[in-house]
Amino acid sequence: MMVIDKWYRAAFTVIFGSIALVALHALPADAAGTENRVVMQVSDNDPGKWNLALNNAHNLQQALGASNVKIEIVAYGPGIGMLQADSIVGNRVDDAVHSGVTVAACENTMHAKKLTKADMLDKITYVPGGVVEIMKREQEGWAYIRP
């Protein structure tokens, strides 16, 4: 009787463990708690801050795997200068975008500074408002970093 009882417990564990595993994989990444998302604010026209943000993005990708983390760097205010075509960190921004990091420029700031998309680095994206973008990401559960 003891052997049968152990067999039933083992079978029960395997069957229900498998069901739980299938259910967990069927859930979206957010519900499973496995998706890593971070939004970074850069609002300083300081190459040091930009390099720090880009280093943070690189380190996150190295630690977690680039496919296991979504990273968005949002620039507004004076920080928008580092996204202009003649930026001294332009090559690093391009490398980050190539590695899967989203780098977004605030269109409100661009309008205030009379900048057009032609003035900006080629591969960046745009958001209507940088502060609003960060707020929305935080409401969606993204981690927030300001280097």
Sign of CA dihedral 89, 91, 95, 97: positive
33 vs 143 pLDDT, higher one: 143
Q: What CATH homologous superfamily does 36-145 map to?
A: DsrEFH-like (3.40.1260.10)
Condensed to tens digits (0 to 9), the pLDDT of residues 77-103 reads 999 999 999 999 999 999 999 999 999
Q: Report the DSSP beta bridge partners of residue 103.
A: 73
| pLDDT tens sequence across 5-64 | 555 454 444 443 433 333 333 334 444 455 899 999 999 999 999 999 999 999 999 999
Q: Where are the domains of the chain?
A: 1-34, 36-145
CA pair distance 109, 81, nearest whole angstrom: 10
Mean pLDDT of 120-144: 98
